[in-house]
Amino acid sequence: MSGQRENSASILVDLSRQLLILRQQGQADISFPVSTAIQGAGEQADSLKTPRGSHYIRACIGDGMPSGSVFVGRRPTGEIYSDALAAEYPDRDWILSRILWLCGRETGRNRLGRVDSMRRYIYIHGTPDSEPMGVPASHGCIRMRNQDVISLFAMVAPGTRVEISEGGS
């Protein structure tokens, strides 16, 4: 887990544009293409939807790991993603390189009970390069290219605000 960085950034995830925008004080916005839930937006547990509303980064996981490192249960397996590994485990939902674990801020909407984003294990994380960006394809998380999530990880910290909305920046 990382906690050494300055926390002056905020993130907007625009579901309609499949875009993550990093805002840093005094700097130009940085945009990254993402892939959110194929099932659309929604907060209910087991819905496979991306939760909306105000969140924050609860934990930053994977600092210093190689690009393509495989995580299961938020722990590195020691594997590096490859086509051969994908063929060996065709049903895995690949979580690669870095994990930014999100926690909801809005009780009853995305925090506590059956709408708790953290208990739903909603992450911003890396995914195989073969997975599409800019179109919904995930099981609820926010997927990014590995190099993009590694760059983002270096610019945020636990506590960074994350707003997930269906439009507007």
**Tens-place pLDDT, residues 14-51:** 999 999 999 999 899 999 999 999 999 999 999 999 99
Q: Assess whether pLDDT exceeds 50 at residue 1.
A: no
Q: What pLDDT score does 147 carry?
A: 98
Read off the pLDDT of residues 112-167 as tens digits, 9 standing for 90 and up. Answer: 999 999 999 999 999 999 999 999 999 999 999 999 999 999 999 999 999 999 97
Tokens 């009853």, residue located:
108
Q: Which domains does the chain have, with CATH numbers?
A: 9-165 (2.40.440.10)
Strands 142-145 and 123-127: parallel
Read off the pLDDT of residues 49-67 as tens digits, 9 standing for 90 and up. Answer: 999 999 999 999 999 999 9
Q: Assess whether pLDDT exceeds 50 at residue 85.
A: yes
Partners of residue 33 on adjacent β-strands = 19
* All residues at 6 or more sequence positions from 27 whose CB lies less than 8 Å from its CB, including other chains: none
Q: What pLDDT score does 26 carry?
A: 87
